Every structure is written in C-alpha cells, then in structure tokens.
Amino acid sequence: MSSVRVLVGTRKGAFILTSDGKRSDWQVSGPHFAGWEIYHLKGSPVDQNRIYASQSSGWFGQVIQRSDDGGKTWQTPGTSEEDLRGPDGMPKGESNMFVYDGVAGTHQWYDGTQHPWEFKRVWHLEPALDDADHVYAGVEDAALFESRDGGKSWRELSGLRKHDSGPRWQPGAGGMCLHTILLDPKNRGRMFIAISAAGAFRSDDAGETWKPINRGLQSNFMPDPTAEVGHCVHRIALHPSKPETLFMQKHWDVMRSDDAGESWREVSGNLPTDFGFPIDVHAHEPETIYVVPIKSDSEHFPPDGKLRVFRSRTGGNEWEALTNGLPQRDCYVNVLRDAMSIDSLEPCGVYFGTTGGQVYGSSDAGDTWKPIVRDLPAVLSVEVQTLP
C-alpha cells in the first residue's frame, strides 16, 4: 500500500508527517533545524529519499540542506572551504551561492567580480522532473538559480534578473520574492515563475531567456493597472496532464489562462473574497482547483472568522465551501502561498498549514478535514510526497 510524507516548514524548524495510504494515523518527526526558519522543503519526484530544505536566519544567514534518506539525516552540500573558495581565497563564482558575509540578514552571490550581489533568503526550491541532483531556487530579491550537483554548486539563470522589465519590479508586502517555480512535464524547456510584485514570467529555453505573461491582469494599485509588469502574483499552479492551463491567486482576483500564460481571465466567481495566497489543483481532475480566501490585503484572516477551503470543479467561477472538520468561529489564522499541497492517491489527499501552527489534512479531496498536528510554530510551507 502506498504511503504519504508531508514536509512542513515553519518559523522555528521543519516537521515531517508520515502515514499509510489510509491517512488516518500520523507519525510526527521534528523539529529538524530547531529554531531556524525553514521557508520551504520539497522532495524530488524521481528519488523519494531526496529532500531539499531552505534554512534561514536573520543572524546566521541562508543555508540549503539536503537529505538522501527521506529526512532522517541532513547535510549541507558545498560548504567545505575547498568548495567555497578558489585559489585566490575569494568565493568561487559558481560555488555555493549562500555565502554569509557577516552582516545580519544578507547573503552574497559572487559572479567572478569584486562586486557581489546580495539577497535575503531562498523562498522556494523546485527539484527537476528527471534528475534528483538538479534543483532550482527562487530567492529574494527576485532571482533564479539552479544546481546540477545536488546543491553543492549553483549558477544564476541571469536572463531573468537582467530582463528589460527588471527596473520596474517592486517588492510586495513580503519582499520582492521569487516564490513559485513550475516545470512543464510535456515541454522540458518550458518553465514558469512568479514574483511578488512583478508578475508571472515564462521561459521556453530552460531558463536562459524570459517573457512576461501578464496580459489580462489588472492591479488597481498601479499607475497603469494593466501594465506589462508590476502585478502582485501570490501563486500559480498547473496540472501535469494539462500544463498549458494555469491557475493564479493574485493580490486580488483568481485568474485562469488556457494558453500558457499568454492571456488571463478572472474566475473568482462566487468566492466570498478573491484575496488569498495559495492555489492548487486536484491530482486527477485538472479542472478542480482549491483556494483559501482571506478577508483582505490588510486583514489576513478568514472572512467572518470561518476557516474555509473553497473548491471549484469547473476550473473556476463556481465555488463550494469545504468546512467539515474546520473551525467555523473565532478563527483568525492565515494560510501562506506555499502552505497547501495535494497527494496523488485515490481519492487524493489535500493538506494545508496555518500561521497558528495547525496542519489540516483531507483524505477525500477536501470533503472532510481533520487536524494532523496542532501547536507547531507558524507554518510557512507544506509539500507532500506520495511514496510506493
């Protein structure tokens, strides 16, 4: 029987939740990296034992951790003195990008010059679809990196940061973060990213060049609400069987594209509010999507204090509230952009974590919910692995 492993990143460490295919009884491992912010953990789709984690501290800096045994033990690849520095004593241009420079909260990327570029943290890790040693990292301030040796060395895919529109990017409330990376399983050269607040971008040549894909988005806080870039995209999602169809949770509005991002249309429909952070797609139904609305951009909690996941079986516009097992009074938590994930069992399981430290799971595609664990630190990310 298949089993599941839920990877949870929090403000004060990582937790790993495991269960069999029934998903009724859970074992909790952690905290791993206790006391550190774990912005994101994600497992490789080609090696069930390979997991990458983004470990961050405002004082000690940014580290990438890797596990090769399903999270039982961890290592920091590429951190020996030999790996980090060249013969001249300077950090290598394509070595571990997370070189802490002794100033709290800053991390330097050396590109072979004497003028390092600084960034704050790694928001998102995305392992490649065909190689466990190949992994992408999205950072703040917005840039994209890749490693082809399991995190030991990195290079920036600099075509994104050097795009002509770059000077018009701006930070959202959480910073100017590259928080979403999607890989197209049918077109290995195609990938999508999202930046807050710049918008969505697509590459058709494995990340070397990029184009903005924001036509149809409208952001009334901008001088030009329909500008090419500057939109605060919170999350994008796709189904592997239909990668030309993208779904987006924006700063306001839930959006849909059926042409790989060339154009977008709003599908917020009857949602109580179209503001939120996560969006995800059912494992077996590419037209079934999930969002968690919150009240507004200034009030980050569920409308009326009722924690509700909303599901559309029509690809948007028509939404139903999923409430069975979720608190329906006096609930004022938030669900962040990377804090929802879906397994591939039948029926699929849906999981999300809250800023109140709860992780909820549904083993019936959202019809009913129960808390898997309570009282964790604030949850930053939730990812799930379906294991044989």
Residue type at position 327: P
Inside any domain, residue 347: no
Tell me what pLDDT residue 328 has. 98
The answer to whether residue 339 is domain-embedded is: no
Establish if 375 belongs to a structural domain: yes
- pLDDT over 60 at 137, yes or no: yes
**Residues 220-248: what's their mean pLDDT?**
96
Question: How many structural domains does the chain have?
Answer: 3
Amino acid of residue 306: K
Question: What does the pLDDT read at residue 57?
Answer: 83
Tell me, what CATH number does 255's domain have? 2.130.10.10
Question: Residue 1: its pLDDT value, please?
Answer: 72
82 versus 277: the higher-pLDDT residue is: 277
pLDDT in tens, 238-290: 999 999 999 999 999 999 999 999 999 999 999 999 999 999 999 999 999 99
Lowest mean pLDDT among 81-85, 122-126, 153-157, 210-214: 81-85
State the Cα–Cα distance between residues 229 and 197, nearest whole angstrom.
8
Do 47 and 148 sit in the same domain of this protein? Answer: yes
**pTM attached to this predicted model:** 0.92
Would you say 214 and 200 are in contact if contact means Cβ atoms under 8 Å apart?
yes
What percent of the chain clears pLDDT 70, i.e. is strictly above it?
90
Q: Is residue 154 domain-shared with residue 240, that is, in the same domain?
A: no
- Length of the chain equals 388
Residues 27, 140, single domain; the answer is no
Residues 171 and 314 in one domain: yes
Range of the domain at 119: 36-159
- Whether 218 and 268 have beta carbons less than 8 Å apart is answered as no
Q: Do 356 and 282 share a structural domain?
A: no
Q: Are residues 47 and 31 in the same domain?
A: no
Q: Which pLDDT belongs to residue 237?
A: 98
Residues 129 and 44 in one domain: yes
Same domain, 123 and 258: no
User: Are residues 357 and 240 both part of a single domain?
Assistant: no
Q: Is the pLDDT of residue 9 over 60?
A: yes
Mean pLDDT for all residues in the chain:
91
Pair (195, 304) in one structural domain: yes
Confidence of residue 106 (pLDDT cuts 50, 70, 90): very low
Mean pLDDT of 334-362: 98
Is residue 344 included in any domain, yes or no? no
Which pLDDT band holds residue 34 (cuts at 50, 70, 90)? very high
The gap between the terminal CA atoms of the chain, to the nearest Å, is 7
41 and 22 in a common domain: no
- pLDDT attached to residue 107: 53
